Amino acid sequence: MSAFPARLLAIASREDAERELARIGVDPRGIGMMSPKMLIRCVHLSKLLCHQANILKQEMLGLGGDAAVARGTVACSIDSTDVILMGTEKQLRRLCEKLVHQPFDLAGLAGELTALLANTSPPPRTWKIAQRALVLDRPLIMGILNITPDSFSDGGSFLDPDRAAERALEMEAEGADIIDIGGESTRPGAPQVPAVEELRRIVPVIERLAGRLSCPVSVDTWKSEVARGTLNAGAEIINDISGFGFDPAMAPLAAESGAGVVLMHTRGTPDRMQSHTGYGDLLGEVAAGLRSSLDNAVSAGVERERIVIDPGIGFAKDAAGNMEILRRLREFTSLGLPLLVGTSRKSFIGKTLGRETDERLLGTAATVALAVANGADILRVHDVRAMRDAADMAHAIITS
């Protein structure tokens, strides 16, 4: 046996760091000082001028971290460079303090960086929606109810409003926290449905649920006319797969109604989205798209506390892209908003496992568990009972 047994620690969060320091008897002041040194952060910055990047490199090296820049930066033989800063949280905070005194607008960059580091602490723990606030202290399950003839998984099953209302109540009994009702399929190649038809499908179901369903209803639509009609009928959340990109009246409606909002990332319309699956920097481009949706919503007057973001699994992404997003999901938490993920029965699971749509329960459970472990707050699923357990189990492990 070794005289000095050494092992590597897996420190994924501030809590992990604090727990390990406490375990070896570090005093509370020391825990406060040292836990930020145990978290290594890599920060991506876009399009900096060479002299800005060179100062960052010099300062980070001085602090014991580093900064990666493109070849040609030192000699300023290129116009601009992306930069990846590498350091502990403590080093990055110290960098911000030093940048305040630097020229070339680096004080502005320090402000951005300070805000980013603040977002690495847990995002808001409640989500304000039209008539209440949902607490996000454990994963929320959003049960899917498609009142469509052609949805890829449950299409044609709930066209009868009584049957649809029963399914909503059943999902609530199985542990759903939100019921997400859609009247138009968004599967690749699906035809568009006129707003009047979407309303004709959804509103009777919401009306039948009045006084019977305790949890809130969300409406899966990108059309303001449908959102307005369903909010008037009692829906509390607008789930827009276009992140308010398809209908310019959506953002002002969301602001005026006080509804909760899900802003999802996609590219192109659903009929064309699978021809837009190529990215130079998938995570960077999805995050930039979400940030622009967020800025648009906030400028229209939507409160940040009402907004949830969603990277849009299966929307203008191929199977490899979906898996990269799930693997690196935690990167989206730096936007400082709760995160929703919808993997349920989707084709990348079928493709990976060689399973038909109705054989993807366990594959979906694996994605749900991993999404929770990687920072998802809300899971949009068909199989509520099973995914409630998968999400709760993953959450119990990460918070144990």
Q: Where along the sequence are the contacts to ligand HH2 (CB under 6 A)?
A: 144, 146, 148, 151-153, 182, 185-187, 220, 239, 241, 262, 264, 310, 312-313, 340, 342, 380
Minimal distance in Å, beta carbon 340 to ligand HH2?
A: 6
- Strand stretches in 72-163, DSSP E: 80-88, 126-128, 133-135, 140-146
Nearer to ligand HH2, 312 or 338 (CB): 312
Quick one: tokens of 176? 């759903």
C-alpha 314/C-alpha 305 separation (Å) is: 26
Q: Which is nearer to ligand HH2, 102 or 269 (CB)?
A: 269
Query: Of all residues in this chain, which one has the CB nearest to ligand HH2 in the complex?
Result: 342
Write phi, then psi, for 275 (nearest 5 degrees): -100, 10
Fill in the DSSP letter of residue 192.
Answer: P
For ligand HH2, the closer of residues 81 and 185 by Cβ is 185
| Closest distance to ligand HH2 from the beta carbon of 239 (Å) | 5
Q: Which of 166, 161, 210 is nearest to 183 (CA)?
A: 161
Supply the minimum distance, in Å, between the C-beta of residue 354 and ligand HH2. 20
CB of 344 to ligand HH2, least distance (A): 6
Residue 301 backbone zone (phi > 0: left; psi -120 to 50: alpha; other: beta): left
Nearer to ligand HH2, 21 or 297 (CB): 297
Q: Using the Cα atoms of residue 181, residue 183, residue 185 and residue 186 in order, give the sign of their dihedral.
A: negative
Residue 45 vs 369, nearer CB to ligand HH2? 369
Pairing label, strands 237-240, 217-220 = parallel
**Cα–Cα distance between 138 and 400 in angstroms, integer?**
13
Choosing from 41, 94, 128, 346, which is the catalytic residue?
346
Question: Least distance from C-beta 153 to ligand HH2, angstroms?
Answer: 5
State how far the Cα of 383 lies from the Cα of 187, in Å rounded to an integer: 18
* Catalytic residue selected from 41, 167, 380, 388: 380
**To the nearest whole angstrom, how small is the minimum distance from the Cβ of residue 169 to ligand HH2?**
19
Q: Is 380 a catalytic residue?
A: yes
User: Are 89 and 116 spatial neighbours (Cβ–Cβ below 8 Å)?
Assistant: no
**103, 110 Cβ separation under 8 angstroms:** no
DSSP string, 301-349: T--GGGEEEE--TTSS--HHHHHHHHHTGGGGGGG-S-BEE--TT-HHH
Active site residue 328: no
Between 116 and 386, CB nearer to ligand HH2: 386
Active site residues: 346, 380
